[in-house]
Amino acid sequence: MTIVIGCDNAAVPMKTMLIKFLESKGVTVENVGCDSAGDPANYPSVAKRACRSIIASGYKKRGILVCGTGIGMCMTANKFKGIRAAVCHDNFSAERSILSNDSNVLCMGERVIGHELAKKVVGEWITLEFKEGPSSPKVEEIIAIETENMK
């Protein structure tokens, strides 16, 4: 599994911690920035780099985006066709984002969630895969709406 990870300058400590955590689990990490609190990159430009990499992989990669709240990253990521981003600050939400909604981008907020809980959320999220079942028609409907609106 390859995870594309990015953050704005408000979330460098969490991103750095998550890179180490993911690598300790044997996950390949592609860091798309930013790497210091002094980096002026805004979260939309980081989310754009991450989403373009996921799309270029044929959606084989997943992404983790972190900013102050996770909201701005999520809003930006969901502007890209085929990206289903969710803000998750607990394990149940992370689980359902995959099992019910086939998410491929997890967003979190450095100012919202502690690092230990973030590791637990990410640890669960990376182990899950969407399976065809009762949620399939809902995901198909999301994709149909996206196709209709993103021409």
Supply the residues annotated as catalytic.
67
d(CA 77, CA 148) in angstroms, rounded, equals 18
- Positions of E strands within 93-136: 105-109
User: Cα separations (Å) of 36 from 13, 32, 33, 41?
Assistant: 9, 12, 8, 10
Q: Which neighbouring-strand residues pair with 107?
A: 65, 87
d(CA 119, CA 11) in angstroms, rounded, equals 14
Inter-residue contact 83 to 65 (CB < 8 Å):
no
Classify 145 as helix, strand or coil: helix
Burial group, residue 8, by CB count within 10 angstroms (0-12, 13-18, 19+): buried
